[in-house]
Amino acid sequence: MADFVLVHGAWHGAWCWKRILPGLWQAGHRAFPVTLTGTGERAHQLAPGIALKTHIDDVAAVMDAEELAQAVVVGHSYGGIVITGLADRMPERIARLVYLDAVVPLPGESWSSGHPPQTQEQRRQSIAATGSIPPADPALFGLSGADAAWVARRQTPQPGGVYDDRLQFDAARVAALPRTFIDCTSPALGTIAAMRERVRKEPGWQVHEIPTGHDAMISAPEALLRLLLAAAGN
């Protein structure tokens, strides 16, 4: 039995793991999907003071409240920088890090660091105007039809304070943990391109591919579930 901590990406919430949870439960595992401050059902908490540390604190609080000791910590998209900060804080309580088409930062980088200049400019303009980043079109995640409509209904603006917030951490401490990167290849999301290259150049990574879009937990839950179970040693 393993404990999974599931950290969503930008604009999402714990709701996005709905299709993954039953399979983890049926395999005998526990799963703790986290909703980060200001997103999902916590969108009413959106505020200028939300920073990257706020979101790392959110996940650490779940680890503490549930007394998790050897968790498989999964971060999707933006959630990758959040779980990296968590790993730097409490590496002894993490069995494996799983980056699901996610940000894999270097020390001193932010969520924005790997984005093309045009994306950075657009998002910074939105943050300056509204304090947040509006949700992306689910079509960019390879979703269509009912799936796209479901995600579009559920997405909420992303707190702007996390965009350029740089993460300082001990790279050797994080790299000492087992790490998996799951590359969603069809269609491949452009803002993750630099991360795909990075994990294939750095030693110590297990890299898997799923021929689906960025929101694999929605568009390819069975394939993702198999990889998560493997990450837990099943």
Residue with tokens 């950290």: 7
Point out the residues that are catalytic.
77
* DSSP letter string, 159-190: EGGGSSPPBP--HHHHHTS-EEEEEE-TTPPG
Q: Could you tell me what percentage of the chain is helix, strand and coil, using 3-state DSSP and rounding each to the nearest 5?
A: 45, 20, 35
Question: Phi/psi at 201 (nearest 5 deg)?
Answer: -95, -30
Which amino acid would we find at residue 147? D
Give strand pairing partners of 92: none
Minimal CA–CA distance to 178: which of 233, 107, 111, 139?
Answer: 233
Sequence-ordered list of residues with C-beta below 8 angstroms from that of 89, at least 6 positions apart, any chain: 56, 60
Cβ atoms within 10 Å, residue 90: 16
50: left (phi over 0), alpha (psi -120 to 50) or beta: beta
CB 205 within 8 A of CB 196: no
Using CA atoms, how far apart are residues 124 and 156, in angstroms rounded to an integer? 17
